[in-house]
Chains A and B, each alone.
Chain A
C-alpha cells in the first residue's frame, strides 16, 4: 500500500464552551478525491483549519508525507504545499482579481524587488483563468463580481499554488450545475496528476460522481471512512445524522382562484432584468430557477426595495405598493433572505439572539423601548430548537457558529418576523441534509398556514420537490413557467438556457 499524503490522528480542539473536535482522524492518499461529510457544526471546517494553520490543535499529530509536521500559520501550510478554498469567501473586495490571486506572493519587477510587476500578474492570472475556462477579466475589482464568480476566483487562487493537497470547503455551494461540471473536470485532471483532494460538501448526490472515498464526522467525532462504491447515499446519511429524515410529499396545484398576494409587472433594469412579471398566490411556493447570473437575485432584491429599478410596478394584495427601501417592503409584509449571508444577512459580531430578534424587535418591547429579554429568549429558544441550530447558548456570537448554522440563524430571523410574503434566496445553501429537510418542512408548514413563498435555488431537485409552480429565468427574462406536475430537470434546463439570439 502507498504511504498516505496526510494523516491526522487523535486531533482534539476546544473553543470556549464548545468541544469542536474529539480524537478525530483523517487520512488522504495521493491521487484521490476524499469527501468529508457531516452535519452542520460536526467540525469539518475546524479540522481543515487545523490542517491549514488557521487554528492550532489541542492534541494529536499531523503526519505529512511520512513526517510529523507543525503548522503554526497559513503561510506554513502553503509552503508545505497545502492550499484551501475556505467555506466563507475570503477575498479582498477592493483589489482586482489578479491582485487577489497573487496576494502574498506577487511577481516583482526584475532588479527592483520592492516593485510589483502588475502586467505580468495580470497576464498570469489571465492564463490561469483561461486554463480553467473561467471567463473573468483579471483587471476587474472583485467587489464588482457576483458571488459565483467570486467563488471561481477563490478556486483559481487555490489552484494557482500548484499544491499537492487541495482542500475545498463547500466549493459548489454557490455554483450552478454547469459550473460544477466544469469544476469536477478540473478536479479529475488534478487527481490524475497525483494531487490529493479533500472535498467537503452537503450535496450528497455529488459524492458518487466525484469522490473516491468518504469520511463521515458527527459532533466532533470520527465515525468512519468508506469506499464510495461500497456505500449508498442513505447509509452515509444515517451515519451522519443517526436519525430519520423528513420527506416532502409531492405538490398539488394551488387553487386558481386563491388570492393574488403579489403581482409584479414589467420590472426592468438595464441588462439585468427585462420585463419581468408574475403573480404569486396565497399559500403558494413559487420556485425561481435559472443559471447563476440569470437575474433571479436581482428580481428578488428589486421586489424587496434593496436596489432601484428603471421601471416596473409591484402590487401587494391588489394595492399598488411603492417600495423604495427594505423597510417599505417589510411594512408591506415582504421578507427577503439574502443569498450572501456574510455580506447582507448577519451581524457577525452580535449574539444569536440579537440577530434573530432584530427584524421583529417591536414584538419584544415593553413600553415601546425596553427589550423584554425573557420573552425574546423563549421565542429564540423555540426557533433554535426547531431549526436545530447548534450553538452553546443564545449569547454566542454568530461569527463563532459553523457556516451552516449561520445560515439557519438567518432563516430563524425571518421566520420569526412573520411576514406574509417570504423570498428565500438559496435558503439551503451550505446546510446539511438533516437541517435541509427541517427547512423544507418549515416552508411547507408556512405555505399551509397561508403564507406565500418565492424560493430561489440553483439545486434543481430542490426546486422540483418544493415548488407548486416554477418560473425559469435566463439573461434577465422569464423564459418559462412550469407547473409542478409537468416539471422535469430537462424542461427547466431547456428554459434556463433559452438565450435570446438577437442580441
Chain B
C-alpha cells in the first residue's frame, strides 16, 4: 500500500510541474492580452507560432543532446550552413527542390555526426568540440556563399515549404503557414523518439549515469554519435525552414540562435546536468520566449530591453523549477 500512496504523491508532483509550466505561458498570454488589444488576434498568434518554429526546431534537437549531459553550441551556425547548402543545391546547381531540402537536412546531420565522433572517439568535452564546430560552420557558410545571400528566385515552390498554407486551403480563413505544421509534426516525432524508442531510453541512461550505462553493456560512443546526429537533423530542418521563410539563405545570420534554443530547453525544465528532460517542456519553453518577445514588442518596449527581460525570465524560470523540484 505504501507504494500506492507514494506513487500518487509523485504523480501529483509531476502534474504540478507540468501545470506550472503551462501556467506560466498562460499567465503571459493573459497579461499581454489585457495590456494590448493587438495581442490576442489570429494574425498575431500565428506570428508568434511562426516565430517559435525555427528556434523550436533547434531547441528540440539540442534537447536530446542536453539530456545526455552534453551541449551543442554549433546549432546556430550549422543551421545557417544547412540553409546555405540548400541554396547551393537549388540555386547554384539547379537541382530539384526536394534534393535541396535533403541536402540541407543532410548537412545538419553530417555536422552533428562530426560532433558526435569528435566527442565520443576523440574524447573532447562537448563544449569545446561544438564550439569548434560553431566556428567551422560559420566560416564554411561564408566561404561557400561568398558572404552574400543566396536567393531562391528560380524555385518559387521552395518558399511555399514554410510560407504556403495547407491548412488555409482546407479551412479558408485559417491561414496557418506550413512551417507551423512542420513544427508540430516534428514535436510529435521528437516526443515519440524520446519516450518510446531505444534511442530515447539510452539518451536518458547516458545522461543519468554514463559509467553505469557503459558497464551495462551499452555502446555509449555509438549512441552518443547517434544522438548528436539526430540533433543535427532537427537543426538541418530548422535551417531549411529558415531559408524557405526568408526565401533566401543568409550566411551572416545564425550565431546567437544556439543560446536562445538552449534557453528554451532550460526554461522547459530539462536539466543541464543530464538525465532529465522532455520535449513538451522544450516546446513550452520556446513558446514562452517568443511570446515574451512578441508581447513586449507590441507594448513598444525597446528591443534592448526585450533582451534584458528574456534574460531575467531564463533565470526566474530555472529558479522556479529548482523550487518545485524540492517541493
Chain A interface residues (CB < 8 Å from chain B) = 54, 73-75, 78, 86, 89-95, 99, 103-106, 108, 114-116, 137, 139-140, 144
- Whether A92 and B196, one on each chain, are in contact in the complex, defined by CB atoms closer than 8 angstroms, is no
Compute the total of residue contacts between A and B using a CB distance below 8 Å: 71
- Whether A90 and B211, one on each chain, are in contact in the complex, defined by CB atoms closer than 8 angstroms, is yes
Nearest CB in chain B: distance from A38 CB, A = 22
Instruction: Let me know if B275 is at the binding interface, CB within 8 A.
Output: yes
Q: Which of B10, B202, B214 contacts A74 (CB 8 A)?
A: B214
If A75-B219, A104-B217, A106-B198 touch, whether A90 touches B3 (CB-CB below 8 Å) is no
- The secondary structure that dominates the A interface is loop
Bound CA–CA A458/B199 (angstroms): 41
- CB-CB contacts of B149-162 with A at 8 A, as 1s and 0s? 00000000000000
Bound CA–CA A90/B216 (angstroms): 8
**Which residue of A is nearest B277, CB measured?**
A94
- Whether A91 and B212, one on each chain, are in contact in the complex, defined by CB atoms closer than 8 angstroms, is yes
- CB-CB contacts of B1-30 with A at 8 A, as 1s and 0s? 001001100100000000000000000000
Bound CA–CA A352/B281 (angstroms): 41
- Whether A116 and B215, one on each chain, are in contact in the complex, defined by CB atoms closer than 8 angstroms, is no
- Whether A94 and B207, one on each chain, are in contact in the complex, defined by CB atoms closer than 8 angstroms, is yes
- Whether B215 and A74, one on each chain, are in contact in the complex, defined by CB atoms closer than 8 angstroms, is yes
Q: Can you give 27 A-B contacts (C-beta < 8 A)? A: A73-B217, A78-B217, A90-B211, A90-B212, A90-B215, A91-B209, A92-B208, A92-B209, A92-B212, A92-B213, A94-B204, A94-B207, A94-B276, A95-B204, A95-B208, A103-B213, A103-B216, A105-B217, A106-B198, A108-B198, A114-B197, A115-B196, A116-B201, A139-B7, A140-B3, A140-B6, A140-B10
Residues in B neighbouring A78, C-beta threshold 8 A: 217
Instruction: Let me know if B218 is at the binding interface, CB within 8 A.
Output: yes
Bound CA–CA A90/B205 (angstroms): 11
Residues in A neighbouring B215, C-beta threshold 8 A: 54, 74, 86, 90
Nearest CB in chain A: distance from B101 CB, A = 23
**Which residue of B is nearest A154, CB measured?**
B212
- Whether A106 and B196, one on each chain, are in contact in the complex, defined by CB atoms closer than 8 angstroms, is no
- The secondary structure that dominates the B interface is helix
Closest 6 CB pairs of A and B: A92-B208, A94-B275, A90-B212, A75-B217, A94-B208, A137-B3
Residues in B neighbouring A54, C-beta threshold 8 A: 215
- Most chain A beta-carbon neighbours within 10 Å: one of B3, B10, B209, B212: B212
- Whether B218 and A92, one on each chain, are in contact in the complex, defined by CB atoms closer than 8 angstroms, is no
Nearest CB in chain A: distance from B36 CB, A = 42
Nearest CB in chain B: distance from A169 CB, A = 12
Residues in A neighbouring B211, C-beta threshold 8 A: 90
Segment 14-54 of B: residues with Cβ below 8 Å from A: none
Q: Which of B198, B199, B205, B217 contacts A92 (CB 8 A)?
A: B205
Interface size on B (CB < 8 Å)?
Answer: 26
Residues in B neighbouring A103, C-beta threshold 8 A: 201-202, 205, 213, 216, 218
Residues in A neighbouring B219, C-beta threshold 8 A: 75
- Whether B3 and A115, one on each chain, are in contact in the complex, defined by CB atoms closer than 8 angstroms, is no
Residues in B neighbouring A89, C-beta threshold 8 A: 212
Q: Which of A93, A105, A144 contacts B10 (CB 8 A)?
A: A144
Bound CA–CA A104/B219 (angstroms): 9
**Which residue of A is nearest B197, CB measured?**
A114
**Which residue of B is nearest A99, CB measured?**
B201
- CB-CB contacts of B33-77 with A at 8 A, as 1s and 0s? 000000000000000000000000000000000000000000000
- Whether B3 and A93, one on each chain, are in contact in the complex, defined by CB atoms closer than 8 angstroms, is no
If A92-B205, A95-B205 touch, whether A116 touches B198 (CB-CB below 8 Å) is yes
Bound CA–CA A78/B217 (angstroms): 8
Residues in B neighbouring A73, C-beta threshold 8 A: 217
Bound CA–CA A106/B202 (angstroms): 10
Residues in A neighbouring B201, C-beta threshold 8 A: 95, 99, 103, 106, 116
Q: Which of A93, A104, A105, A140 contacts B275 (CB 8 A)?
A: A93
- Most chain A beta-carbon neighbours within 10 Å: one of B202, B217, B218, B275: B217
Residues in A neighbouring B199, C-beta threshold 8 A: 114
Bound CA–CA A73/B220 (angstroms): 12
Bound CA–CA A259/B294 (angstroms): 68
Segment 182-235 of B: residues with Cβ below 8 Å from A: 196-199, 201-202, 204-205, 207-209, 211-219
Nearest CB in chain A: distance from B282 CB, A = 17
Residues in A neighbouring B208, C-beta threshold 8 A: 92-95
- Whether A92 and B275, one on each chain, are in contact in the complex, defined by CB atoms closer than 8 angstroms, is yes
Bound CA–CA A489/B219 (angstroms): 48
**Which residue of A is nearest B206, CB measured?**
A92
Nearest CB in chain A: distance from B4 CB, A = 9
Bound CA–CA A92/B210 (angstroms): 8
Residues in A neighbouring B276, C-beta threshold 8 A: 94
Residues in A neighbouring B214, C-beta threshold 8 A: 74
